[in-house]
Chain A
Amino acid sequence: MEEVRAPMSGNVWKIDCAEGDTVSLDDAVIVMEVMKMEAEVFATADGTVAEIKVKEGQAVEEGDLLITINT
């Protein structure tokens, strides 16, 4: 199980994957909005998305768990 965590504090802008999706390392899975700027968050491993822990629009702190990936 791999974890994708928020690299910065900000808002979840867009979720570009769904639970069960196959993703590869470095795919953009979430777009965050930090200080009016979009920042992509990338998958940390190849696998399938196990669980999405956040909703679009939600505020997150640096280090919060966003997604888990089954490898």
Chain B
Amino acid sequence: MANSILSSLTSVFTSSGFTAITWQSCVMWALALGLLYLAIKKKFEPLLLLPIAFGIISANLPMTGLMEPGHGLLWQFYAYGIKSEVIPPIIFLGLGALTDFGPMLSQPRLIFLGAGAQVGVFVTFFGAHLIGFNLSEAATIGIIGGADGPTTIFLATKWAPHLLGTVAVAAYSYMALVPLIQPPIMKLMTSEEERKIRMKPSRKVHPLEKILFPIISAMLLILLIPASAPLMAMFMLGNLFRESKVVERLVEASQNELMNIATIFLGVSVGATMNAENFLSPKVIFVFFLGLAAFGVSTASGILIAKGINLFSKDKINPLLGAAGVSAVPMAARVVHKVGTEADKRNYLLMYAMAPNIAGVIGTLIAAGVFVSLLK
């Protein structure tokens, strides 16, 4: 009797997951716990890092079949949500509904700063390729420099799915670290005098301009780079919802319910792709390093473009605004404002910084579209 109880207990134990734990899964759990700490305690992009981290924990539990192709639960979230390229465009619909293009339309020349920040994306692309990543991996790593989560995920899924979790974690961590990464570069590259430059008051934007902008720019940009269509079309549709002022319910749904639901499935399935096999390779260290470099170069090139414009223009641009060209919205704009007020407490750069910031989002979308067409 005692014997048979013992043997059934043993069989419960041997069929449990405990016997199948490997050191690799322990490393992944430790990483996930670290991310949970950053998300919960330090409030690092918690809306994404928290579900990503839990996805990592779940997917690295042995014998669950959660990521088994065909019927695993998390695999189905991944396959139908991300691999099918549905969720990132839905997130962009919400971002469009949240975005006010007003500051950008009132200072159109600041758009160039948003374009300038894409230099980091391409420099890192070439850099990553030089040190041995293939073209599609290099493109995926470069786009981290654009500081745009959904775009990074979109591109990674298409071209380097084995790097998906890694680049997503790198992108979201660096976005949370923008207030630490950017200011030293910004201060190094500008003089006290330049940081004190005050911008001219911006012109008022007519409501009709705001309605026409998403329609016209969606058509023009998609005609120019057809591969950017899935993200661009949804982004501009969301913005048209907002600016038309006649579909308040759709604006609310896009900004809140729809985007929140999409974010849950995005986070957990991105996390679930991070298994030990994909993540515990020396390449990953390079991905994080190159991603950081991409951020730095993007920040610097935005500032340089602003200084370049100042050589020719009578109305000087505060070069700090160039740093807002990375599309971490609105974090990068806040950082610009903060560094600006340190030099002159009456210099209110926030709304001006939103111009390159928003332009940076469009710029990163275009850069992703360029990569997709190049790699075809």
Contact = CB atoms under 8 A, between A and B. Distances in A.
Interface of A: 7-9, 26, 34-37, 39-40, 42, 62-63
27 contacts: A7-B346, A7-B348, A8-B348, A8-B350, A8-B351, A26-B345, A34-B350, A34-B351, A35-B330, A35-B333, A35-B334, A35-B350, A35-B354, A36-B330, A37-B334, A37-B337, A37-B350, A39-B337, A39-B341, A39-B348, A39-B350, A40-B345, A42-B345, A42-B346, A62-B201, A62-B351, A63-B201
The A interface, classified by DSSP as helix, strand, loop or mixed, is: loop
Interface in B321-375: 330, 333-334, 337, 341, 345-346, 348, 350-351, 354
A47 to B, nearest CB: 18
A9 B354 CA distance: 13
A9 B350 contact: no
Contacts of B354: 35
Given A35-B333, A39-B337, 4 more contacts: A8-B348, A8-B351, A26-B345, A37-B350
Nearest to B338: A37
Q: Is the interface of B mostly helix, strand, loop or mixed?
A: helix
B351 A9 contact: yes
A34 B353 CA distance: 13
Nearest to B100: A35
A26 B333 CA distance: 24
A61 B333 CA distance: 19
Contacts of A63: 201
Instruction: State the 6 A-B residue pairs at the shortest beta-carbon distance, nearest first.
Output: A7-B348, A8-B348, A37-B334, A8-B351, A35-B330, A34-B350
A59 B55 CA distance: 41
Contacts of B348: 7-8, 39
A42 B345 CA distance: 9
Contacts of A36: 330
Contacts of A35: 330, 333-334, 350, 354
A63 B354 CA distance: 18
Contacts of B345: 26, 40, 42
B233 to A, nearest CB: 26
A6 B174 CA distance: 33
A18 to B, nearest CB: 22
A35 to B, nearest CB: 5
Nearest to B352: A8
